[in-house]
Structure 1
Amino acid sequence: SFNSIFQDVRRAVDWVHIQGDLKKRTVENLDYYVKKDPRLPMVLARIRESGAKVFLLTNSDYNFSNKIMTHIFDFPHGAKPEEPHRDWKTYFDVIVVDARKPLFFGEGTILRQVDTETGALKIGTHMGPLQPGQVYSGGSCEVFTNFINAKGKDVLYIGDHIFGDILKSKKIRGWRTFLVVPELVQELHVWTDKCQFFAELQQLDCQLGDMYKNLDSSNKEKPDISKLRASIRDVTHKMDMAYGMMGSLFRSGSRQTFFSSQVVRYADLYAATFLNFIYYPFSYMFRAPAMLLPHESTVAHEQRYQIEAPMIQRARAIKTDSVTSTSATTDNGAASEVPAAAVAAKPAVHKETESTEETTVTVPHTRPSTPRTVTHTHDEDYSEEESDPNNKSDGENNQDPPADGKEARKTKK
């Protein structure tokens, strides 16, 4: 079953990370497994120059992290070509290893300081403050954010794991998130080089809509769409195969994958690499393009859509210049409001010195208007005897007469 396949793969991945030789083989072949980019020191230095603090938060231990980071920052220059080489720890304000994410975003662990000479943990719990150039182990997000004096939206967290990095930091701590998706390079490559597949799918979709264009509920015959469906399946298969044997990370036919839906929901930003920041000022406001809802994508703005539905009667009109609701009296004497649209039919008044133009805007009315007066007429013939379960007949009246001496009135219904 799919569940057993998932469990087997999960156990294998956990074993490789915890007990296997993954880290050992990686350290032995750093040039093969770890990609270096000379822009990295410059980007981190510019972020700090803008006034922000930069921290490193990793689940790896210090010895492994030190070897990886030393290799990544192994350049003859520093942040700029004319500057000398700097140790990797000087590019960060805070360094935390053995974070044990996603546990770090919840209860966390004990925060301890690391001896950078031996890699061993110092005895006792570190009570702060966090010093630049020092390395710390474990801790929790609550303690960490108190030390750096930044919470929630003050933090932009960059990670490559949708669950351990992005989802948990967003849901539990409300951090702003940046997801690194290296596969995005291939996704964009297919999007640009295989654009004819997307254009063909749109054309087939239009043809499918044309076959139903002039039909309504009175038609008994069904149009033959078997050829169009076969063509759509064929083009969709070609498009999926263009992404490789595993298909697209974001698309599954014409729908988005579960991973794609999580990216859209929990990642404020995502890109193939965070080095794209080099092309934007740090004051730049990133914003997502407006997305049309399914019902909005079917009607253009210039269309005047006439809705035929019972709920349209519950729309109320609002005037932009004055209140236009009046009261009317019904047969039972109760007052009721007249919608503003009923009294907004006055022509515009034009004078030489001033002009008054009334504009009516119809907005959805999802709730009924709150009554301003009593709208229920109580039954004056109501008798307490009828609601008494112990009263079996009209003749068995054991109640005392009213205090004013009047007889109690009884009615039968």
Structure 2
Amino acid sequence: FLQIQFGSVYRGLTPLSDEEVLRLYKNRIMPIAYVEGNMRDGRTNSAMIQLADLFSVPEIGLLCNVTDYFEKNHVDYHPEILFRDVRASLIDAHLVMHKIVPENVEHYLEPNKNLRLFLERLRNANKKLFVVTNSPYKFVNKGMDFLIGSDWKTFFDVIIVQARKPRFFTDKSRPIRIYDERSGSHIWDRVTKLEKGVIYFEGTVKQLQELTEWRGHQVLYFGDHPYSDLADVTLEHGWRTGAIIPELTHEIR
């Protein structure tokens, strides 16, 4: 995990030689503190950024292409500043995406006729289902309505939007709030129980477990990011996890 794989290190779109990699990093083995850092207030101070899910693909592509442009045109730049600017631009792009995608949802999502059947089977087997997503409610609602149907909320016992993962799994105190669908705002009331059909906002995994009494191995949680979604709930809370990795379809053939 901490070993640099020679032949896989690039500056922009240009592969670096093994000698150049060793000159930069001094060693083929990376110190764990350099890669992971130390967690403080739910945030890491690591010197490296891990880009490990599908959401990272545009970010990696933009970083590589801008770096390549700077290198080929002899533009002086600071790599960390470049990364921070690219990250900020993608955060801004999310706001645009949340507006554009719901307007033409069929252009971005592929219908799956088996998805509703799968959820019905789980519900008929008396399984408790929940959604914890970082996306805003209107964005989620449009997509789920397209994929499952207008009654999609009836399949889930708990729905939490704008959860701010991974901080949802690490923060100790950030109260769950109720999202008012009609006004598009958040209610000030204290949440003492989680009700089916109600949309919740933010909160922490600690509150989710306390209010549902779902514990440890009882929970099977699916996510597509090994660090933001899967690592903390496994290590800290004992949840069983399933990783959604579309690339494996190609790899195992």
Tell me which interval the TM-score lies in, with the shorter structure as reference length. Answer: 0.5 to 0.7
TM-score of the superposed pair, with normalisation by structure 2: 0.63
Instruction: Write the distance in 2 (CA, Å) between the matches of 1:95 and 1:147.
Output: 13
- The CA distance in 2 between the partners of 1:36 and 1:6, in whole Å, is 40
Q: Distance in 2 between matches of 1:8 and 1:160?
A: 26
Q: Structure 2: how far apart are the matches of 1:5 and 1:172?
A: 33
Cα distance change, pair 122–167 in 1 and its aligned pair in 2 (3 A): same
Give the distance between the partners of 1:174 and 1:14, measured in 2 at CA.
33
User: Is the Cα contact below 8 Å between 1:105 and 1:173 reproduced in 2?
Assistant: no
Which residue of the partner structure matches residue 28 of structure 1?
A: 103
The aligned counterpart of 2:238 is: 174
Higher helix share: 2
Q: Counterpart of 2:152? A: 88
Query: 1:240-267 deviations in whole A, cap 9, x for unaligned?
Result: xxxxxxxxxxxxxxxxxxxxxxxxxxxx
| Deviation, structure 1 residue 154 | 1.0
Aligned equivalents of 1:10 and 1:35: distance in 2?
A: 32
Residue 183 of structure 2 corresponds to 118
1:72 aligns with one of 115, 131, 147: 147
Amino acid at match of 1:121: H
Q: How does 1:9-28 map to 2 (within 5 A)?
A: 9=83, 11-20=85-94, 21-28=96-103
Indicate yes or no: 2:49 matched with 1:49: no
Q: Secondary structure at the match of 1:157?
A: strand
Aligned length: 177
C-alpha distance 87-10 of structure 1, shift in aligned 2 (>3 A): farther
Indicate yes or no: 2:199 matched with 1:129: no
Distance (Å, rounded) in 2 between the aligned partners of 1:156 and 1:175: 6
Q: Which amino acid aligns with 2:142?
A: K
Q: What is the CA-CA distance between 1:11 and the residue it aligns to? A: 4.3
Larger radius of gyration: 1
| Identity within the alignment, % | 32
Could you say what secondary structure the match of 2:185 adopts?
Answer: coil
**CA separation in 1, counterparts of 2:226 and 2:88?**
17
Q: Secondary structure of 1:65's match?
A: helix
**How far does residue 182 in structure 1 lie from its aligned partner after superposition?**
1.1
**1:129-176 CA-partner distances (Å, limit 9, x unpaired):** 111111110111111011111111111001111111011221222211
Q: Aligned partner of 2:145: which letter? A: T
Q: Using a 3 Å threshold, how does the CA distance of structure 1 residues 39 and 62 change in structure 2: closer, same or farther?
A: same
The DSSP-based 3-state class of the residue aligned with 1:59 is coil
Partner in structure 1 of residue 163 of structure 2: 99
Q: In structure 2, what is the Cα distance between the partners aligned to 1:176 and 1:144?
A: 16
Deviation at 1:27, TM superposition (A): 2.1
Structure 2: give runs of 5+ residues left out of the alignment. Answer: 1-9, 12-47, 49-77
Greater relative CO (CA pairs within 8 A, separation 6+): 2
Q: Determine the structure 2 residue equivalent to 1:357.
A: none
SS of match in other structure, 1:171: helix
What amino acid maps onto 2:138 in structure 1? N
Q: Aligned pair in 2 of structure 1 residues 123, 152: CA closer, same or farther (>3 Å)?
A: same
Contact 1:57–1:99 (Cα < 8 Å) also in 2: yes
Residues 1:100 and 1:183: Cα distance change in structure 2 (over 3 Å): same
Q: Deviations over 1:179-201 (max 9, x none)?
A: 00111222234xxxxxxxxxxxx
